[in-house]
Amino acid sequence: MVAAACVIPANARRIHGVRDSKMLTRDQREAVFDRILSQAVSVAIGAASVAEIERINILNATRLAMQRALRRVGPYDHALIDGPNIRTHDMGPHTCIVDGDALCYAISCASVIGKVLRDRLMVRLAQRYPGYGWEHNAGYPTPDHRKALHELGPTPHHRRTFGTVRLILSAQFPLPFGEDLSVPLPPGWERLTPSPAVAGQGWGEETSP
């Protein structure tokens, strides 16, 4: 689970094409990514590992990743956070906005940043674990991903409690790549640049670094 936080200047001019990252293609997100970084005062990334997701569930892991991103982005007065109200984690002064990535420009920017970095990390992981198609399915439960799970078995990056992975493990399919489920982000990805908005980015039903 990855979350991005960014501080956008109050008088910033809206970048054409920036909106909810789920409504953009990969090429469209990449096209505006560098422009968002240039406009933002500060950008930071927070993450929750597979082990943390399994231990505290995906909702709390998303909030933990958001909290970590906010703590790394630098000082701020008030945060705008995508999603419903958060009572389980201290986010500092903030306002939660349901569907914020579609309604708030700053949250849209954070959403695009998180999605682009998440996709790029999946491409890197695909080089380490070829055969699952992560470079194009980004870890989502596509037919080729499910087929690879049956043929190759789960990796340490697969969540044991979801979908096909759970079924395979219930049949006592061995983990061919070891037991360590912790997945740190590559060095330098936590903070990219010297009131933030934050948006979380999941990693699909099956795979979640």
Position 4 scores a pLDDT of 96
Query: For strand 197-201 and strand 94-97, is the pairing parallel, antiparallel, or unpaired?
Result: unpaired
The mean pLDDT of the chain is: 84
Greatest Cα pair distance in the chain: 57
Instruction: Quick: pLDDT tens for 84-110.
Output: 999 999 999 999 999 999 999 999 999
Percent above pLDDT 70 for the chain: 81
pLDDT reading at 174 higher than 90: no
Q: Which amino acid is at 115?
A: K
Domains and CATH numbers, the chain: 2-201 (3.30.420.10)
Instruction: Quick: pLDDT tens for 179-190.
Output: 333 344 444 444
3-state SS string for 113-131? HHHHHHHHHHHHHHHHCCC
Strand partners, 192: none
Which of residues 168 and 36 earns the better pLDDT score? 36
Position 195 scores a pLDDT of 52
Position 141 scores a pLDDT of 87
Residue 74 to residue 177: CA distance in whole angstroms:
37
pTM of the predicted model as reported, rounded to 2 decimal places: 0.80
Strand partners, 95: 80
